[in-house]
């Protein structure tokens, strides 16, 4: 179908850079895992024995390295969560844990930005807390690195705000491994090339403010740097 056949202009294709090539990775869906590091579960008042769960962010919430992100509306507690991101390259459902790596194109570092006060208020009333997680520009993601071999099972993960470390952990601390996450998600949804999976955050989540400079890192991957600017609303 050509543009002339559409009643309005089609949304722009969302893509991510890939290390070592000018070609880019098109994003289809953005899945996120909740409660996947025990210390983070505890700091949020949860029980680490609970299984992680999945939620989604809109595709156009993706931002890339160097993004200037306005402080969002309707919140007074805007928080950071650094995460390992998996990029799906091969379609599949009911994927075995042992086959998970073959479905992953590459990996990157990401930040799950959160309107924490809004999320908590919605949770207390029993309402969906999508507004606290799935808002505009809430999913910055770094440059993808093509996967060679197995999925990352260990390695430092950290986030700095204005040069001070806020979050620091290791991928080995994940309750569900990257392979287990791919397998579990594929039991609920058929995975397609272009899907991203944010795999959860370690302890140390905290507030951001206008003017903050954020650097997120996962060992062996290109860092992701963003800044928070004045609200636009």
CA 15 – CA 26 distance, rounded (Å): 4
Whether residue 61 contacts residue 138, with contact meaning beta carbons closer than 8 Å, is answered with: yes
What is the residue-averaged pLDDT of the chain? 93
Whether residue 157 contacts residue 202, with contact meaning beta carbons closer than 8 Å, is answered with: yes
Phi, psi of 181 (to 5 degrees): -65, -50
In a domain, 74, yes or no: yes
In a domain, 220, yes or no: yes
pLDDT category at 83 given cuts 50, 70, 90 is very high
Strands 145-146 and 78-80: unpaired
Its domain, for residue 35, covers 15-229
Q: Is 108 exposed, middle or buried (0-12, 13-18, 19+ CB in 10 A)?
A: buried
Q: Is 173 exposed, middle or buried (0-12, 13-18, 19+ CB in 10 A)?
A: middle
In a domain, 8, yes or no: no
| pLDDT, mean of residues 8-13 | 93
| pLDDT, mean of residues 83-95 | 98
The pLDDT tens digits of the residues spanning 132-166 come to 999 999 999 999 999 999 999 999 999 999 999 99
In a domain, 4, yes or no: no
CATH of the domain at 135: 3.90.850.10
pTM of the shown model: 0.94
In a domain, 222, yes or no: yes
The pLDDT tens digits of the residues spanning 50-69 come to 666 899 999 999 999 999 99
pLDDT category at 35 given cuts 50, 70, 90 is confident
């Amino acid at each position: 179908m050509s543009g002339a056949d559409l009643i309005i202009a089609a949304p722009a294709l969302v893509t991510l850079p890939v290390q070592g090539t000018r070609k880019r990775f098109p994003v289809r869906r953005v899945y996120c895992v909740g409660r996947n590091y025990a210390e983070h579960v505890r700091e949020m008042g949860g029980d680490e024995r609970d299984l992680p769960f999945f939620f989604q962010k809109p595709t156009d919430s993706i931002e890339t390295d160097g993004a200037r992100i306005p402080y969002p509306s309707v919140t007074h507690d805007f928080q950071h969560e650094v995460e390992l991101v998996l990029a799906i390259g091969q379609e599949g459902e009911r994927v075995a844990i042992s086959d998970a790596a073959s479905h992953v194109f590459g990996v990157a570092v990401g930040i799950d930005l959160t309107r924490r006060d809004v999320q908590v208020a919605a949770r207390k009333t029993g309402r969906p807390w999508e507004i606290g997680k799935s808002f505009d520009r809430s999913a910055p993601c770094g440059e993808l690195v093509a996967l060679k071999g197995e999925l990352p099972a260990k390695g430092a993960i950290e986030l700095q705000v204005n040069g001070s470390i806020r979050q620091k952990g290791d991928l080995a601390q994940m309750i569900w491994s990257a392979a287990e996450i791919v397998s579990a998600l594929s039991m609920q949804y058929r995975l397609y090339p272009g899907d991203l999976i944010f795999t959860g955050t370690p302890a140390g989540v905290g507030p951001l403010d206008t003017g903050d400079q954020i650097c997120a890192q996962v060992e062996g991957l290109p860092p992701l740097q963003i800044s928070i600017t004045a609200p636009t609303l």
